[in-house]
Every structure is written in C-alpha cells, then in structure tokens.
C-alpha cells in the first residue's frame, strides 16, 4: 500500500509568522508553526513531520507531493553532498535550515519514499488542502491564537489515490495573490532590506534552488552589463556552472512601502571596486515577499 500525502509550508512575510502542514484526507492531517520563520522552514518541517507521523507504518511506501523544488532537492539531491562537507555549501558557508535537515536525514533512513512535484495553487486537491492548513497555522501564530494541529495519522488510516496529473514542472513559484495578508508598512522596510541582503549573499546566489525561493515568477533584472535576466535565464546560468555577478555589502539609500504589497528600496554597493546604484521592487505574495524587479546602474565618476 502506498501512502500519498501533500506537504506544504507558509510564511506571512518570509520571514514572519510561519506554518507547516501535511495532508492525506480530512481525517488524517497535521499542522504547526512558529512565530517567526521562513517558507522554506515550513516546507521542510512539513516533510519531516510527515515522516515522523508515518514511522509506525514505515513498511509502506510514502509518496510526498510538494510544490517546493527546494524541499524536494534538499532531500533528494543536496543532502548527501552537504553531509560530506560537514553541512557546508560549496562556498564553505553553513547550509541554511540544517537543524531541520539533520532531523530529516535521520527520519528518512530505511524508509521507502518518493517525491512528486505539483504546481502550487493549480487546483490539486491535496496540495490545496495542505497549503490552506499551513497558512492557517501561520495566521494563528500571527494573531496569537491556538493552532489547529489536526488529528494526526490515526491507526488504520488508508492510503489516498493521487489527484489527476498536473502539467510539467516549472521551478518558478505560482503567481502572486494580491489578497495576501500584508505587513504594516512601518515594519516592512527592514524585512525587505534583510531579504535583499540574502539575495546578495554569494552562497545563496551559487544555488538556483536557494536563490529561486526569493524570486517572483515574473522576476526580471537589468544587470550592470545591460543584460536582462529572468528566472529561466538565472537557472540556465547557474546550471551551466557559471556565476551571477559579484556583490558587496549594501549601503541603503532609501526604502519606501508604495502599498501594502509593494516595497521599493535603493542602495549602493561596490563589488570588486565598481560603484553600483541599485534599486529593487519587492512584491508580497501568499508565499511571502518576492523580488519582482531589480536594476543595477554603474555609478558615474567625474
């Protein structure tokens, strides 16, 4: 018998109040979260809790439906290499979320499991249910309310048939939902600056799986060399072994919330001694703040 379950995470602000959930059916699901976390933390924790909940039926195959390529790749591709390097990335920096990943590494030992990527917010019944419950957990933490943790995995719970196949995988995130919960404008600029610093981090920029989590599906960037980048271009660049342009610590010039769902920041940096003036437009989606547009302009000197 095969257990088929969806696992999903949610973060209101990314980072912000966060939740996780796994779902098999209305009688078999669980959810939880934190007052402060990221979408990736929620995705990984949901998978971890699913393995824990099904430990007593470990002889059964577990098929995990995820809309996060990051979570799938962490478990299926990257963890063995990270472990060999002492949980360090190729650039020598510590792997993000390694506390959860180390627990996952223990939980999957001896288990018969597989992952299936599904497009988020595309009507997939199990994925939609997991997403709803993860977001509800994040919202409960945001509002200081108790989290509905669900019934868990009851003894004798049955496996579920998969939902109809979705279209071919696309590693970008789903389109933004303009009705997503918004942060107060007074608090949002420091969050955006922190996210921008993460986007500039060389370790994040070296891994498409980590970098893409910050990008809006409609992301575009005009680089310092006048090249137009989008999600697909960045993936081809990194998959070919090439690198994104070098970065440096940012010197914030201004930051402004243009609306509850749009924030613009401008800053200066000097990668490799070259002065650059940069601007970034971040948009709030139901999966958190995502980089929608970015531009670099070479600073003119007299």
Rounded distance between C-alpha atoms, residue 82 and residue 85, angstroms = 5
* Residue 239: active-site member: no
Residue 27 near residue 152, CB atoms below 8 Å: no
* Residue 43: active-site member: yes
* Residue 25: active-site member: no
| Per annotation, catalytic residue among 61, 121, 170, 218 | 121
* Residue 187: active-site member: no
Measured in whole angstroms, the distance separating CA 68 from the mean position of its chain's CA atoms is 7
| Per annotation, catalytic residue among 13, 19, 32, 43 | 43
The residue written with tokens 């994104």 in the block is 244
Residue 216 near residue 285, CB atoms below 8 Å: yes
* Residue 8: active-site member: yes
Rounded distance between C-alpha atoms, residue 277 and residue 43, angstroms = 35
Rounded distance between C-alpha atoms, residue 175 and residue 218, angstroms = 8
| Per annotation, catalytic residue among 49, 128, 131, 196 | 131
Tokens representing 281?
């437009």
Tokens representing 245?
């342009």
Contacts of 172 (CB under 8 A, 6+ apart): 212, 215, 217, 231
| Per annotation, catalytic residue among 13, 19, 37, 67 | 67
Measured in whole angstroms, the distance separating CA 17 from the mean position of its chain's CA atoms is 14
Measured in whole angstroms, the distance separating CA 72 from the mean position of its chain's CA atoms is 11
* Residue 296: active-site member: no
Give me the active site residues, please.
8-9, 43, 67, 121, 131
């Amino acid at each position: 018998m095969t257990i088929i379950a969806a696992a999903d995470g949610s973060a209101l602000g990314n980072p912000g109040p966060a939740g996780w959930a796994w779902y098999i059916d209305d009688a078999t699901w669980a959810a939880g979260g934190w007052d402060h976390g990221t979408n990736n933390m929620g995705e990984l924790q949901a998978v971890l809790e699913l393995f824990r909940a099904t430990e007593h039926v470990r002889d059964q195959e577990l098929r995990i439906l995820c809309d996060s390529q990051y979570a799938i790749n962490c478990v299926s591709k990257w963890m063995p290499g990270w472990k060999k390097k002492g949980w360090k990335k190729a650039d020598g920096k510590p792997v993000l979320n390694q506390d959860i990943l180390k627990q996952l590494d223990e939980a999957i030992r001896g288990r018969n499991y597989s992952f299936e990527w599904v497009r988020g917010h595309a009507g997939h019944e199990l994925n939609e249910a997991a997403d709803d419950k993860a977001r509800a957990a994040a919202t409960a933490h945001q509002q200081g309310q108790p989290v509905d943790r669900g019934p868990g995995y009851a003894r004798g719970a049955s496996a579920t048939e998969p939902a109809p196949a979705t279209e071919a995988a696309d590693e970008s995130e789903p389109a933004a939902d303009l009705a997503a919960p918004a942060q107060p404008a007074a608090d949002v600029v420091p969050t955006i600056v922190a996210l921008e610093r993460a986007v500039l981090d060389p370790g994040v920029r070296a891994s498409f799986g980590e970098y893409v989590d910050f990008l809006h599906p409609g992301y575009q960037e005009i680089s310092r060399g006048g090249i137009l980048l989008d999600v697909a271009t960045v993936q081809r660049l990194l998959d070919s072994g090439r690198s994104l342009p070098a970065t440096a610590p940012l010197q914030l010039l201004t930051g402004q919330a243009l609306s509850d769902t749009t924030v613009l920041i401008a800053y200066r940096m000097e990668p490799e001694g070259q002065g650059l003036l940069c601007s970034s437009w971040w948009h709030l989606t139901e999966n958190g703040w995502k980089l929608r547009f970015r531009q670099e302009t070479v600073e003119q000197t007299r």
